[in-house]
Amino acid sequence: MKCHLCRHHCLLKEQQIGICGVNKNENDTLKTIVYNYPSALNIDPIEKKPLYHFLPGSKTLSIGTIGCNFRCPFCQNWQISQSKEIKSDIGELTPYDMMNIVAKYKCECVAYTYNEPTIFYPYAKDIGELVALKGAKNIFVTNGYESIEVIDDMDWVDAANIDLKSFNKDYYQKQLGGKLDYVLDTIERMYKKGIWIEITTLIIEGINDSDDELSQISGFIKDIDKNIPWHISAFHPDYKMLDKTYTKFQTLQKAYEIGKNNGLNYIYFGNVNFPSITYCPECNEELIVRSGFNVTKNILKQGKCPNCNTKIAGVF
Which of 3, 168, 125, 25 is CA-nearest to residue 69? 3
- pTM surpassing 0.85? yes
- Per-residue pLDDT band for 117 (boundaries 50, 70, 90) equals very high
The angle subtended at Cα 222 by Cα 110 and Cα 306, nearest 5°, is 65
Cα–Cα distance measured from residue 78 to residue 75, given in angstroms and rounded to the nearest whole number: 5
Under the banding of pLDDT at 50, 70 and 90, the label for residue 53 is very high
Q: What is the mean pLDDT of residues 133-149?
A: 97
DSSP letters spanning 117-181: GGGGHHHHHHHHHHHHHTT-EEEEEE-S-B-HHHHHTGGG--EEEEE---S-HHHIIIIISS-HH
**Mean pLDDT throughout 161-169?**
98
pLDDT at 65: 98
Mean pLDDT for 48-69 is: 98
CA atoms within 13 A on the CB side of 117: 29
Distance between CA atoms of residues 2 and 10, nearest Å: 6
Whole-angstrom Cα distance, residue 140 to residue 161?
6
For the segment 55-64, the average pLDDT, to the nearest whole number, is 98
Residue 207 has, within 13 A of its CA and on its CB side, a CA count of 23
283-304: average pLDDT: 96
**Sign of torsion over alpha carbons 218, 220, 226, 227:** negative
pLDDT for 212: 98
64-107: per-residue pLDDT in tens?
A: 999 999 999 999 999 999 999 998 999 999 999 999 999 999 99
Confidence grade of residue 314 (pLDDT, cut at 50, 70, 90):
very high
CA distance linking residue 64 with residue 267, whole number of Å: 27
For residue 127, the model assigns a pLDDT of 98
Tell me the C-alpha distance between 47 and 265, whole Å: 18
User: 31 — phi, psi (to 5°)?
Assistant: -115, 125
Report helix, strand or coil for 103.
helix
pLDDT at 211: 98
Q: State the SS3 of 3-48.
A: CCCECCCCECCCCCECCCCCEEEECCEEEECCCCCCCEEEEEEHHH
| Mean pLDDT rounded to a whole number for the chain | 97
304-314 mean pLDDT: 98
Per the DSSP assignment, residues forming a β-bridge with 60 are 44, 109
Give percent of the chain above pLDDT 90.
99
Task: Measure Cα distances from 248 to 73, 212, 256, 260, 269 in Å.
Answer: 20, 18, 13, 19, 12
The phi-psi region of residue 284 (left if phi > 0; otherwise alpha if psi is between -120 and 50; otherwise beta) is left
